[in-house]
Structure 1
Amino acid sequence: MRILAITDIHGSESVKYAVREWLDMFKPEIVTISGDITNFGPPSWARKFLDAIPLPKFAVPGNCDPPNVIEEIKKSKAKCLHFSREKYKDFEFVGLGGSISTPFGTPFELEEEEIYNELKKVIVPRAIIVSHTPAKGHLDSIPSRGSGLGSVSLLRIVKEYQPILFISGHIHESVGVERDGKTVFVNPGPAKNNMCAIIDIPDAYSKNVDMKTEIKVDLISQ
């Protein structure tokens, strides 16, 4: 399964054209969208953006999306993963929108306790997590503010359930790929800056994470 992973669109019209190019160039099977689809609205823009992508897609809102973007995602042709689980092939996708508390008082922020309690209701072992917020200690650093800006609750979920893949966004400065145990962490970088990730997962990986063939990630910047 090949995934085109994007995040942090922030209402950029140019991303619509970039996505078309990536679809033609890399031929992904599905698309994941890890939040901040709009830049503080309007919520309807999120639906239009998602419906322009002609592939199966899984999306969550970000902290810069008004909370009612959730309803626009649900009205769109995308699957809304916020505190929800969806199956594609043999892979279980679980998601989290918004972010933990920020110094900026953005529209969609959540408490750590809510994140953990709600995700516990839907998470399963070996899932693919699509989150706006990173897990604490993984791709969550800003040079001016230091590291460890991710969610403690998400890190706890990772340790307890060992997802095979964790795709996040939010921290524009922490583009990259990390591996910790059986989990691969990916921050594709902000799509508004023409960045994305192409992720290749063997179809059998959902059942056997000890396969010799590992998840492959290519970070794209144009």
Structure 2
Amino acid sequence: MKFLVIGCFHGKLPNKLKNIAKSCDFILSTGDFGGSEKLRTVMFKNFSRDFEDKLGKKSMREYYLEDYNNGKNILKELDKLKKPVYTIDGNWDFTKKTDVKKDYGLNFLSYPKIIKKTKNIKFLKKKIITIEGLKIYPHGGLMLASIFHTDSYFKDKHKLYKKLHVTQRKQLFKQKSKNLDILLTHCPPYCYFDKVNYPGINPMNGKHVGFKPYNEYIKKYSPKLFICGHMHEHQGIAKLGKTIILSHGPAQYGKAAVIDYFNRKFKIKLVK
């Protein structure tokens, strides 16, 4: 059995990845469908700061609409591949009602609702399931970087971030299994493919922004394979205990991973 691991599209799905998908039995996605370079630039310049009022509703409406439509188009492209696609959400997706940005006169369907109307895509909630014979724990969305509630840059939000971090950890451990084949996430574990490398752009440059509870979960339950994305500057394979950790790389730049599963073992090939 062969499957494609992909994510961080940000509005782009290169033809080479579409061609690779043709030879795969199914696709696992870590989300981040939409993308707006204008919005991304603004957010990095105002990291953890309020900027929407400063830019005004007209500009923000334009940025969010571009972002949303790019993601919607990616979902259409994935559906056209005519392969089963199983996906979680990333940190850049219109997943909840609160993500729809009605304040800017935007009233569109969330991505999970769009996915429901597709023929080949299934949105995965945070619950252990069996897919194509593999026991998988889908755990999507943005996990607050563990450094955020200790780093001086966020000192005015430490209390809030610590509370959120504790809540997210509790949620993760609600689903337990010592026989997991795959823990599928968007964000990386701490110190594994999580070091920021955007000098002069991201104030967290040079720091590790992974989610420590993932490390705890891996050490306790030893899933065979941990799949993540999120960090565009990383792609690779590592190990934590008995668990293989795979960072698939950003699809927008033509990166992904192809996995052959045979005799209960994973053989991983990076697409660079």
The answer, yes or no, to whether TM exceeds 0.5 is yes
Q: Aligned residue for 1:117?
A: 170
Q: Work out the CA distance in 2 between the residues paired with 1:148 and 1:5.
A: 23
Aligned to 2:84: 56
Distance in 1 (CA, whole Å) between partners of 2:144 and 2:131 is 31
How big is each residue's C-alpha offset from its partner over 1:131-164, in whole Å with a ceiling of 9 and x where there is no partner?
A: 1101112111123422431111222221221111
In structure 1, stretches of 5+ residues that fail to align are 104-108, 206-213
Pairing of 1:49-198 with structure 2 (within 5 A): 49-67=77-95, 68-76=110-118, 77-101=120-144, 111-125=164-178, 126-143=180-197, 144=199, 145-198=205-258
Equivalent-residue separation in structure 2 for 1:87 and 1:55 (angstroms) = 17
**Alignment partner for residue 269 of structure 2, among 214, 218, 221?**
218
Counterpart of 1:208 in structure 2 is: none
Code of the residue aligned with 1:135 in structure 2: it is P
Shift in CA distance, 46/194, structure 1 to aligned 2, threshold 3 Å: closer
Tell me if the contact between 2:10 and 2:32 (Cα under 8 Å) persists in the aligned partners: yes
Q: TM-score, normalised by structure 1?
A: 0.80
Q: How many residues align?
A: 203
1:176 shift after superposition: 0.6
Q: Which has the larger radius of gyration?
A: 2
Of all paired residues, the percent bearing the same amino acid is: 25
After TM superposition, give the deviation of residue 65 of structure 1 in Å.
1.1
- TM-score normalised by length of structure 2: 0.66
Asked whether the equivalents of residues 34 and 131 of structure 1 are also in contact (C-alpha less than 8 Å), the reply is yes
Q: Distance in 2 between matches of 1:217 and 1:157?
A: 22
Assess if the C-alpha contact under 8 Å between 1:169 and 1:188 holds in 2: yes
Where do 5+ consecutive residues of structure 2 fail to align?
36-66, 96-109, 149-160, 200-204
The structural deviation recorded for 1:34 is: 0.8
Specify the SS of the correspondent of 2:252.
helix
- Asked whether the equivalents of residues 98 and 132 of structure 1 are also in contact (C-alpha less than 8 Å), the reply is yes
User: Please, which of 6, 16, 25 is the counterpart of residue 18 of structure 1?
Assistant: 16
More strand by share: 1
